[in-house]
């Protein structure tokens, strides 16, 4: 056991790291205090946020040992702390939960254990933790901060072939340990202090948040001239200073949780009032963008007293399941105005307080008047298109930027964002 790492926590990041470690590196073990998560993992019922994990696990890989007795944690020299930082109902990080979990782990670890810490925290968190918890020094436990740069829905590719690995350390002797532990990862490896590494993680997310906020600000501005910002995107992305993979596509605001965590951290801990105001206004901008969908429904369906809405695909993207800070949050809020049903061909859903789940697309098409298209599989797309052709009294709002052509010729359909360079091509 001591030769193989233990992954402590089976949220998204714990499942990704343990399964892919077993494929790329060697045997490992997993543990979670939550018996329900442990049982699901044992049954190979993995997170919907990374659908392809099931395929990876079926292929040839090293053994993953499932630890059910937490007393066995003392057998391990290397432990990955893989618990996603939870969010409260308002989208604020519950950092105290992470702190308490880390304390619990340290009590279970033997002396000189190395903990590789992956949770999303504010800059200075680990320095504060060392000062407040004397037990960690008595046991000579080393905490190494690892910057998680995996993109939800695309984590498998980025884990197996990363461009770089970034660590925060207190002791330079840990550089040799990390190079040996990650010897199968043939990429650049960077080593910083704890706080420097924490700020690198935050900086990556805030840059992406700036990109999203920039695009949404410009989209509001372009709307004043009666076109969408997405219409002029291609020449911007051709500029090397911006790039093809930039996040500058207009959207319904930030969702998924990761970018929002770091926006909350910087808003709360910065002492510079201008910095605080900038990120506070970004949060307000994100809320305003979610109202774009609400405004479109009201504008195009004025006669409805109660909006009977059918959503095709409720996650923020079809390659990864998450409804944290959902793009549909504004219509979820008003239960008196909206009756919401969801049909999702990508992810297995359960009814919750926001919506009821449909398992019959044909019946749901009849029972609802307004459709919101986020994503669908090919088979059900055909059913939807045929129904729209024959039922002009139904109305569809398309959110999918990659499927503008599919709905642009329907008088009862509206593409909420234009396709880049749709109307004018290079001469």
Average pLDDT of the chain is: 87
- Judgement on whether residues 127 and 212 belong to the same structural domain of the protein: no
Looking at the chain, the whole-number percentage of residues with pLDDT higher than 70 is: 96
Please state, in angstroms and rounded to a whole number, the distance separating the CA atoms of residues 165 and 178: 10
Instruction: Decide if 251 contacts 286 (C-beta within 8 A).
Output: no
For residue 43, give the CATH number of its domain.
3.40.50.720
Would you say residue 288 lies in a domain? yes
Tens digits of residue pLDDT in 105-120: 999 999 999 999 999 9
Among residues 192, 223, 252, the one where a domain terminates is: 192
Structure tokens at 212: 């999203």
Q: What angle do CA 49, 125, 41 make, to 5 degrees?
A: 30
Instruction: Give yes or no for residue 2 having a pLDDT over 80.
Output: no
Helix (H/G/I), strand (E/B), else coil: 132: helix
Number of domains into which the chain is organized: 2
- For residues 272 and 398, membership in a common domain is answered with yes
Report the alpha-carbon distance of residue 146 to residue 120 in Å, rounded.
10
Q: Are residues 151 and 212 in the same domain?
A: no
In a domain, 373, yes or no: yes
Asked which of 192, 226, 261 is the last residue of a domain, the reply is: 192
Kind and range of the H or E run holding 95: helix 95-108
**Does 136 map to a domain?**
yes
User: CA gyration radius for the chain?
Assistant: 24
∠ Cα 371 372 378 (to 5°)? 90
Domain that holds residue 407: 203-415
- Cα(176)–Cα(414) distance, rounded to whole angstroms? 57
Banded model confidence at residue 427, pLDDT cuts 50, 70, 90: very low
**What is the SS3 assignment for 40?**
helix
Are 152 and 219 contained in the same domain?
Answer: no
Q: Do 124 and 239 sit in the same domain of this protein?
A: no
- Quick one: 277 and 407 in the same domain? yes
Q: How far is CA 147 from CA 88, 185, 252, 427, in A?
A: 23, 15, 27, 45
| Among the listed residues 389, 396, 388, the one whose alpha carbon sits nearest the alpha carbon of residue 370 | 396
pLDDT at 115: 97
Q: Is 421 among the domain residues?
A: no
Q: What is the C-alpha separation between 346 and 45, in angstroms, rounded?
A: 15
State yes or no: pLDDT of 403 exceeds 90: no
The token pair at 271 is 């002492």
Which value, to the nearest 10 degrees, does the dihedral of the CA atoms of residues 173, 174, 175, 179 take? Answer: 130
DSSP helix/strand/coil, 399: coil
Is 90 exceeded by the pLDDT of residue 249?
A: no
Q: Is residue 427 part of a domain?
A: no
Whether residue 249 is contained in a domain is answered as yes
422 in a structural domain: no
Distance of CA 41 to the CA centre of its chain: 20
Asked if residue 241 and residue 172 are part of one domain, the reply reads no
Encode pLDDT of 280-317 as tens digits.
Answer: 898 889 889 888 888 888 887 766 678 889 999 988 88
Residues 187 and 213 in one domain: no
Torsion of CA 159, 161, 162, 165, to 10 degrees: 80
Closest CA relative to residue 385, chosen from 401, 365, 363, 360: 365
Characterize the bridge pairing of strands 142-146 and 164-168. Answer: antiparallel
d(CA 304, CA 125): 50
Domain end (from 153, 168, 192): 192
Percent of the chain scoring above 90 in pLDDT: 44
Buried b (16+ CB within 10 A) or exposed e, 48-61: bbbbebeebbeeeb
Q: Does the structure show a pLDDT above 60 at 420?
A: no
Q: Give the model confidence (pLDDT) of 75-108 as tens digits.
A: 999 999 999 998 887 778 899 999 999 999 999 9
The mean pLDDT value for 240-266 works out to: 82
CA–CA dist 20, 26 (Å, integer): 9
> What are 186-200's pLDDT values in tens digits?
999 999 999 999 999
User: Are 47 and 177 in a shared domain?
Assistant: yes
Please give the residue that has the higher pLDDT: either 200 or 151. Answer: 200
Average pLDDT value for residue range 266-293: 88
pLDDT at 51 over 90: no
Confirm whether 198 is domain-assigned.
Answer: no
Q: Could you tell me if 221 and 334 lie in one domain?
A: yes
170 and 257 co-located in one domain: no
Which pTM was predicted? 0.79
In sequence order, the β-bridge partners of residue 339 are 308
Q: Are residues 213 and 160 in the same domain?
A: no
């Amino acid at each position: 056991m001591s030769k193989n790492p233990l992954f402590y926590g089976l949220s998204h990041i714990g499942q990704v790291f343990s399964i892919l470690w077993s494929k790329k590196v060697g045997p490992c073990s997993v543990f979670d205090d939550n018996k329900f998560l442990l049982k699901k993992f044992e049954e190979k019922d993995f997170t919907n946020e990374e659908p392809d994990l099931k395929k990876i696990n079926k292929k040839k890989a090293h053994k993953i040992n499932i630890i059910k007795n937490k007393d066995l944690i003392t057998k391990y020299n290397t432990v990955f702390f893989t618990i996603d930082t939870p969010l409260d109902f308002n989208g604020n990080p519950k950092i105290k939960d992470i702190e308490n979990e880390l304390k619990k782990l340290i009590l279970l670890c033997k002396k000189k254990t190395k903990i590789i810490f992956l949770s999303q925290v504010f800059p200075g968190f680990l320095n504060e933790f060392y000062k407040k918890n004397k037990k960690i020094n008595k046991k000579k436990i080393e905490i190494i901060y690892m910057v998680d740069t995996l993109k939800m829905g695309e984590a498998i590719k980025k884990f197996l072939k990363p461009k770089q690995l970034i660590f925060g350390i207190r002791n330079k002797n840990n550089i040799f340990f990390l190079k040996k532990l990650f010897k199968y990862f043939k990429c650049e490896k960077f080593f910083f202090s704890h706080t420097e590494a924490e700020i690198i993680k935050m900086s990556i997310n805030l840059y992406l948040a700036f990109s999203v906020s920039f695009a949404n600000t410009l989209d509001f501005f372009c709307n004043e001239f009666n076109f969408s910002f997405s219409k002029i995107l291609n020449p911007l992305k051709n500029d090397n200073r911006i790039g093809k993979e930039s996040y500058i596509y207009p959207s319904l605001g930030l969702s998924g949780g990761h970018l929002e965590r770091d926006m909350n951290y910087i808003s709360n801990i910065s002492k510079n009032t201008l910095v605080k105001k900038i990120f506070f206004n970004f949060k307000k901008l994100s809320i305003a963008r979610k109202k774009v969908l609400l405004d479109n429904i009201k504008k195009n369906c004025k006669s409805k007293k109660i909006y009977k809405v059918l959503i095709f695909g409720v996650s923020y993207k079809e390659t990864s399941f998450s409804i944290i800070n959902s793009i549909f949050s504004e219509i979820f809020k008003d239960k008196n105005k909206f009756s919401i049903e969801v049909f999702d061909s990508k992810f297995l859903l359960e009814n919750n307080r926001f919506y009821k789940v449909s398992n019959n697309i044909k019946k749901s098409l009849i029972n609802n008047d307004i459709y919101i298209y986020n994503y669908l599989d090919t088979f059900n797309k055909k059913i939807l298109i045929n129904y729209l052709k024959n039922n002009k009294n139904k109305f569809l709002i398309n959110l999918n930027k990659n499927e503008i052509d599919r709905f642009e010729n329907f008088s009862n359909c509206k593409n909420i964002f234009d396709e880049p360079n749709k109307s004018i091509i290079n001469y």
